[in-house]
Amino acid sequence: MTRPDLTGDGPVPLADSGDGSLALADTGDRPVTPPDTGDRPVALVDTGDRPVLLAETGARDWSPATARARFRAGLAGPTAGVAAGHTQANLIAVPADWAYDMLLFCQRNPRPCPVLDVTDAGAVTTVLAPGADLRTDLPRYRVWRDGELVAEPTDAREYWRDDLVTFLLGCSFTFEWALAGAGVPIRHVEQGRNVPMYVTDRECRPAGRLRGPMVVSMRPVPPEHLRAAIRESGLLPAVHGGPVHCGDPAALGIADLARPDFGDPVEMAPDDIPVFWACGVTPQAAVMASRPPFALTHAPGQMFLTDARDEQYRVVGVD
């Protein structure tokens, strides 16, 4: 599959793991408070090809209901750093006759596609956020026809179909609060950018008519914080869990970190290690590869804010 153009110092030899087994000293950790985001209309900055949500005082303290109300009113942008402590979710809705294939695809590929909820056909609500409307309460959607992106509305009611089955999948924005609490810097939030995401050369396990490559998100991590990043994300398997790779991006078939397939490039500190997590944009890559007649998804990085708390999905870890 050819990577879609939807955006516009040496490798570190680290183990491809997510189980916290890397033998690195866990030293120098310092508390890092994620940048706050706001209780007034969020400012946007033009990066040259599209606007990016800026962190603004207060949005980390929004309730999920407040965030959804603002998105319903037309506010759009990446949701990293919004509604601290609440689980965020990727969304993909497919016609009912494709729903079994999608469910099987998720079951066979749980790292990029961890299922949090699946709706009945035509339902516009979820148990993860009673009273929310899946057609209106995300910042931005993507509409796909025969595998081609045809629209990116902020309100999907015009495109909604009564036969759509919606899948809500765990999102790595959820574990960023745990990373920050352990002292791991979150570079894309610091820089007011969307997280960079890349199509890899690792094929997912096919399911029925669905196939496609795994997509990963990347966060630069200083070496002294790597153990904490692996440990904290690994305790949240329902939102992708630990990294799938640390170090050389070429091992995933990624040629240039400065050119993500989705999201925005981030600036890395000189000693930062690129760390890659499985990403819930993977079903969108499957849509492009498999070309179902119709699909509706979130725009990458612009997630559904659920009422669930992060700790509901945290497993018990042993140091």
**Residue 260 predicted with pLDDT over 80:** yes
Assess contact for 281 and 271: CB atoms under 8 A. no
Give residue 56's pLDDT band: very low, low, confident or very high (50, 70, 90).
very low
Reply yes or no on whether the pLDDT at 97 is more than 50: yes
Q: How buried is residue 210: exposed, middle or buried, by Cβ count under 10 Å (0-12/13-18/19+)?
A: buried
- Residue 57 is predicted with a pLDDT of 53
- Mean pLDDT (whole number) for 129-138: 97
* Residue 223 exposure: Cα atoms within 13 Å on the Cβ side: 10
Distance (Å, whole) CA 294 – CA 296 = 7
How confident is the model at residue 316, as a pLDDT? Answer: 75
DSSP string, 35-88: PP-BSSPPPEEE-SSSEEEPP-TBGGG--HHHHHHHHHTT--S--TTSSTTEEE
Residue 52: predicted pLDDT: 40
**Residue 1 pLDDT level (bands cut at 50, 70, 90):** very low
What strands lie across the sheet with 213-221, from one edge to the other? Answer: 197-203, 213-221, 273-278, 245-246
- Where in 222-313 does DSSP place strands (E)? 245-246, 273-278, 295-298, 304-309
pLDDT of residue 317: 56
The three-class DSSP label of residue 163 is: coil
Query: What pLDDT is recorded for position 20?
Result: 32
The answer on pLDDT for 176 being more than 90 is yes
Over residues 114-133, the mean pLDDT reads: 98
27-31, 141-145, 257-261: the lowest-pLDDT one: 27-31
For the chain, the average pLDDT equals 85
Given a cut of 80, whether residue 27 has pLDDT beyond it is no
- What is the chain's alpha carbon radius of gyration, rounded to the nearest angstrom? 18
The answer, yes or no, to whether residue 291 has pLDDT greater than 70, is yes
pLDDT for position 247: 97
State the Cα angle at 105 between 99 and 108, rounded to 5°: 140
pLDDT at 54: 37
- Residue 25 pLDDT grade (very low, low, confident, very high; cuts 50, 70, 90): very low
Q: Which amino acid is at 81?
A: G
Q: How far is 301 from 105, CA to CA, in rounded Å? A: 21
pLDDT at position 58 is 80
Q: Give the residue from 266, 268, 264, 272 showing the smallest Cα distance to 301.
A: 264
Comparing 160 with 9, which gets the higher pLDDT? 160
